Amino acid sequence: MASINKVILLGSVGTVEVKEKVVQISLATSSGYKKKDSDEWVNKTEWHRLIFAIPTLLDKAKNIKKGDSIYVEGSINTNSWTSKEGEKKEIKEIAVVTFMTMAKAKTPEREYNQPKTTITEQVIKNNVNEDDDLPFN
């Protein structure tokens, strides 16, 4: 039986750790909901550990900064180890195979430009080959 291990995330960058052969980034994704019996809105943030290890991605990944909005595709990997205290530990990581920066963080060094198209339109535009013969416009 075939199987698929694919993750697609769009979120905000937290920490960026650049090493010699790997870039490790924490990515926050958020969702929210309104409580059933009140008007209170609850936000839920999930943190994901991204691992950039493909040589062709490393140079681009080194330019990612805290606060950037990025789109990533990859697969889930589980790493386990035993701590110094003898406790078995485990962590889920996303091995990134492709990514694109959607918006840069607002900082004094960077001028922030709000995209004129939606994120979905940007993803589609960046994944369409200009030379493709499309049966529609």
Q: What is the mean pLDDT of each run of 10 residues along the chain (137 residues)?
A: 94 93 94 84 92 91 92 95 92 94 69 50 59 53
pLDDT of the residue at 59: 87
pTM over 0.85: no
Q: CA angle at residue 122 from 120 to 125, to 5 degrees?
A: 110
Residue 114 pLDDT: 46
The rounded distance, in Å, linking the Cα atoms of 19 and 53 is 10
Q: Could you give the CA distance from residue 43 to residue 113 in angstroms, rounded to a whole number?
A: 26
Q: How far apart are CA 80 and CA 92, in angstroms?
A: 9
